[in-house]
Structure 1
Amino acid sequence: MILNKDFILTDIENVNELIFEDNKYLPNKRLFKDVKFLYLETSNIDDNTVMYYMFRNIIIPQFKDFFENRQLRIDLTVMENIKVGKEGNKTHGHHHPEAAPGRTFPEIYRVLEGKVCFILQKNELDKVEDIMIVELQKDEWIMIPPNYGHVMINLNEDRSVTLNIVSSRFIPIYEIYKTLKGAAVYLTDDGLISNNNYKLACIPKFYRSVFKIENLYDSLRREEIFIKSLNRPYLIKDYSVYFEEIKEKKFQLLS
């Protein structure tokens, strides 16, 4: 794949390398055997099928020192169009550790290609107090709030590609998703199905993201508050301003 300086992708069929600003990146690959336990239904997909590709620490040359000094990084994820039973291809899911007492590290995503559903969940082990379902189209952004784990699901009929900006100070926490076999709900062709390994004290709600970065380079130059918040989450008092509930769209949890 080739990613130009305006973050437009070409040669998307070649997922074994990424070229950005004359630098070449090779992916980490997540195989089906690494994630098959996260799905509601079993599948005859070969264990060595690549489900998604992760390109880490993509460098914008003019901001190389900026990212290093502020301990930030950019990643890119490519999700294949694969169905597992009645579910779309999805990422493993993870939480972040605390950046400050009471608040974990937030994260910023942009969909570069395709359509992606984010399942955000606020939980303490198996007890879930909030679930947010957010669909993003190409070129839309989302700010993952502190204290929410998240999973991405490919809703596209082709590959979907996301770019994320995140602190480099921590290692993601995968254990809850691994132990409880995925997110608190499964998004299937039939609707939402609750994961019985969790105890839900909420009804999932559908939101649209109103968070947007008009020009990433300008935002980095100005070091806007949402960039600073990636390591200092209390700089933003209320992350709910980045979301609007879509009240006319409701999910019925299927047993």
Structure 2
Amino acid sequence: MSTHERWTRLLDALGERGRIEVGEAAELLGVSPATVRRDLEELARQQLLTRTRGGAVLSGVSYDLPLRYKTARKADEKQRIARAAAALVPHGAVVGLNGGTTTSEVARELATRADLAEQVGSTALTIVTNAVNIANELAVRPHVKTVVTGGVARPHSYELTGPIATAVLQELSLDFAILGVNAVDPRFGAAAHDEGEASANRAMAERAGRVIVVADSTKLGQRAFARVCTVPKIHVLVTDHDAPDDLVEQLSGQGVDVRCV
């Protein structure tokens, strides 16, 4: 297990339990207590947890971990979701992508899709994004026209938010908005932890002909602080096979095309 994977599992365990002891973490990770202590010290240095005598407790930022620590969560499921979502986009489309681990995978799938990459010397796809990491990856793809919104960068998600991002999005017309969210609730809708991210994502959804939400099953039935859009505004939800049947039924009953991949 790599250092990055250990850190991700430690932070996941802290998010679930609120606190963890060194011996408990060593057993969970299958490593020595000395390794766990070094990991906890480094994560405390990054202010992602608070060290205690014999362990660690949840830090104030643990509910919204930096993107680099989320990539290992349900990685296989996210890749399948991304592949299925990317397959819904036709040649020549204008697509909005917000930030997040799953949408970053969608961007990679779109950038490397054979039928699009073959379009040498022409624009096969236009991507509008407020995520600087996605823009960085796509900028080197000559067949992809990459449009960046501008705004204030959030270190957790690499998303650009604020009035500049929202103002740019309100002037554009998108064929699709592919949105990663923190939660999808049958009553509250799709939501994000941060109100600034939610505002930019909402603007993207409002300018799109079709809204595709990409969210693994752990996000379903959850609520987050700021709503991105209501359930009837979601045309397609791409999730994984672990999605609870009752939630799939509730969302489908409101007109959402739920695809479990």
TM-score by length of 2: 0.25
- Of Structure 1 and Structure 2, which has the larger fraction of its residues in strand? 1
TM-score by length of 1: 0.25
Larger radius of gyration between Structure 1 and Structure 2: 2
